[in-house]
Structure 1
């Protein structure tokens, strides 16, 4: 038999999705994979019920239904101030995962270099490798997850063609300041590089932090590729509706890559989701208030239990420090905790290029009852660790 692809030979399965399977195995509370346990807005699901009877049920235009793209353009303009042409500057994709992959494949050549902030969402490294490129990692330093501008410049100087920027950041919850974004923009312009932004948590921000759109900074519109999704904003992670916003010359290429990757997003889901894209500002204020409440409940609970963690500024994740338990293998610890405490988290090392094994990631996009039960179970963690025998993660 011919050998398999060398490019993918070192791939593992997704650690996040693996932890969901482990959570299901032990009937644990799943605070690993970031999806809510509450319903999407009723207006969207009511519209979906209508669409199920009336259609559309066939292919939409490959790069997204016209009314969906027009609604996306209006929404993005409303929040960013950017005027978007729905015909030449938007491609609708099967989730932000495909948005990122299609963007990478549209601008990256084999042996190019791509800069990635670490910690990072696990797909970014894989996307870089699938594109045939070499990743260059720039550390975000806890507890504030700041970065050294000199290290970022060194990445661009050494040939990074693009930087992947997740803002707000998964997994650390960092919201990049305007000054930090200006520093990035200055270097991207200086070295003629792209910035690919992942902005799926744009509306999940905790006061006093603010989301600044990279593409709105001077000189960045023409070199910023925005990847986004409806998943988190409207609690429809299973609908897989993502999109790319970029200048026409880039979108023209993304359209072609997307066509051969997935053909198009689901037509009935786009039709139903238009309702959400037309929501008033009140919806987004309620969304922010809802997540602020969940953050206070869960993160406050961790503090009351005496755990150490980094305070999230945006998104719905929190990194908890498990150094006190002498953890040397966070993968084994995460599985042990799932089985013995009944709460699933993601081992932090799956997000870091650096040698970090003392963190686990929880998400808190859950009902109050779910979070309270998770905290009740975590209250037993220290005692169960102390009573455990022959632990193999130390």
Structure 2
């Protein structure tokens, strides 16, 4: 009875949070803290809330530091116009056609997501594409949706991404054996994302038409409203342009090679970028103040997500929800358990942090699957299918950076993106079955 009550409290927490955010009753930061506190008190955990919340904050503290300095770093790069040439080149190739721009966004997002880090992926995509979206009047929620789908597909399922790494380690699997059969499904999913981008682009073309490139160029010459504009009074030299490019490239290489912890890399990168591009002390203060307005809300939300996760984990609501979802599966559906895990991963990945899902729920799912003769390798592949939905859930820290960049709140984004992202996740189950990444037990 106690476990059932914990599940009810856990699901009630999620429902209340989603209701408050999607109906704009509260900001995401307030709702993500208030919702778990209310139901933890109802469950009799009031006296333990402090340590649980602090534990959650400790868990996300490195991520909060990373996001703070990543936002500041890319803020400097956007101010000095590092990504302007990319934006102009894409605009010339697309010739003002929203379809080509949105499809180009999908291709770029899929390639950038290979680095495995959501924060840097979103920042690079938005730095290159968001100025174009603003200039042509394309809905930035399209960019956010495509970016989330791409990150959940590539970073979420490749063995160097966070989710798959957790699945491989907790189940003791071989990374190559896990990944190779999954490649065809990932390629199919990537093609589906490009198709989705084409459909969304067609809608925008119908709404906006094809914008004349000459008109855009005139506007760009008349004023510099693009996100990647040159900072006022900052002299532009080819040396600085090349320095910023090489610095960013070096940062990405160091990130991929794991030469230092990510927060350390971005702290050092930001200090170098700020010192070289803005050697004047007054300039430095101004730049920090300007970009802090974007960084602080992101850090607040990440800390709020840590409190949310800390309470749900500390009260064992997460464990209880996972166990109860398993109990409702009848024995007659045992041969289809891999598919069931794929389906269960959709809501669980959306609601839980990756740590809670892969370290808490996945071992339980794998143990249950073994009773039906299903090996843990297929369960691991099925478990990562929910990653596109996780990427748009409240516990995904990089999402808050993306929302800040496109200037939209969580409720707006989830209302727009939930259907296409859910369809992608369901199609992944189909692709995985067709390509043999997962199978039905005989």
- Shorter chain as denominator, the TM-score bin is under 0.3
Would you tell me which structure has more helix in proportion to its own residues?
2
Higher relative contact order (CA 8 A, sep 6+): 2
TM-score where L is the length of structure 2: 0.25
TM-score (norm 1): 0.27
